[in-house]
Amino acid sequence: EAGVTQFPSHSVIEKGQTVTLRCDPISGHDNLYWYRRVMGKEIKFLLHFVKESKQDESGMPNNRFLAERTGGTYSTLKVQPAELEDSGVYFCASSPWGTDNYGYTFGSGTRLTVV
Amino acid sequence: AQSVTQLGSHVSVSEGALVLLRCNYSSSVPPYLFWYVQYPNQGLQLLLKYTSAATLVKGINGFEAEFKKSETSFHLTKPSAHMSDAAEYFCAVSVGGSQGNLIFGKGTKLSVKP
């Protein structure tokens, strides 16, 4: 089966611009998560979708970040306007819904550089 | 609140030597614990997971980890390092059970010397 796909793999944008990251989860996975790793720091949770609904968005840093998951399939994470501190690697992960699903499948990440 | 501490941001071993990567956790409820590995230019790959079954968990590529409640530890080991094990390793604890989000440690970069 295809894994979790993220694109672009790299993005370099100027401060103040808008960037949209996309994640395609494994087909049939209801859970979709976004994480971010800022240089030199821990990987941190951003938000969790169950199908098209936001289950937990407690990790979203501020209102410049907007995540959507239309139809419960792919998800987008938009940063508008981007700031320097938004640079980092953004990971998406997915997992099936249910009680016996431990551990996600992660994508390869999108490396965002804001200059 | 849950937290994870990985001791040592960099660990270097010789090929064939024991690999020991340390992880301590803090959790107010029985934890679900994970080790992930990130090879250069790749995503995070699940190595192994502890989900309250056997305390000694075996994972892929010869790695294993032992859950020790009394020490709140979940250290990762491999008897004999291989050059291909060079990567960054992350310990994580799940918030809210199997569906919850993960809290990660800062990661440990493993170097393997020939």
Segment A46-63, tens digit of pLDDT: 999 999 999 999 999 999
Q: Which residues contact A50 (CB under 8 A, 6 or more apart)?
A: A30, A31, A97
Q: Is residue A42's pLDDT more than 80?
A: yes
B46/A103 touch (CB, cutoff 8 Å), yes or no: yes
| Sole residue written with tokens 């907007």 | A66
How many Å apart are CA B19 and CA A54, to the nearest integer? Answer: 40
Sign for the CA dihedral angle at A76, B32, B95, A90 comes to negative
- pLDDT on residue B101: 85
Nearest to B49 among A41, A102, A109 (CB): A102
* Cβ contacts of A93 on chain B, cutoff 8 Å: 44
- pLDDT on residue A108: 93
Q: Which residues contact A73 (CB under 8 A, 6 or more apart)?
A: A24, A25
Could you report the per-residue pLDDT of B1-35, keeping only the tens digit for each?
788 999 999 999 999 999 999 999 998 777 889 99
* Cβ contacts of A97 on chain B, cutoff 8 Å: 99
Q: Name which of B99, B103, B106, B108 to mutate to probe chain A: the one with the most chain A Cβ atoms within 10 A of its Cβ.
A: B99
pLDDT band at residue A96, thresholds of 50, 70 and 90? confident
Q: Is residue B100's pLDDT more than 80?
A: no
AA identity, residue B23: C
Nearest to B98 among A56, A101, A109 (CB): A101
Q: Name which of A42, A89, A97 to mutate to probe chain B: the one with the most chain B Cβ atoms within 10 A of its Cβ.
A: A42
Q: Is residue B102's pLDDT more than 60?
A: yes
pLDDT band at residue A70, thresholds of 50, 70 and 90? confident
Q: Coil, strand or helix: which one is B56?
A: strand
How many Å apart are CA B95 and CA A15, to the nearest integer? Answer: 34
- pLDDT on residue B84: 95
A92, closest residue in chain B (CA to CA) = B43
Q: Is residue A22's pLDDT more than 90?
A: yes
A3, closest residue in chain B (CA to CA) = B43
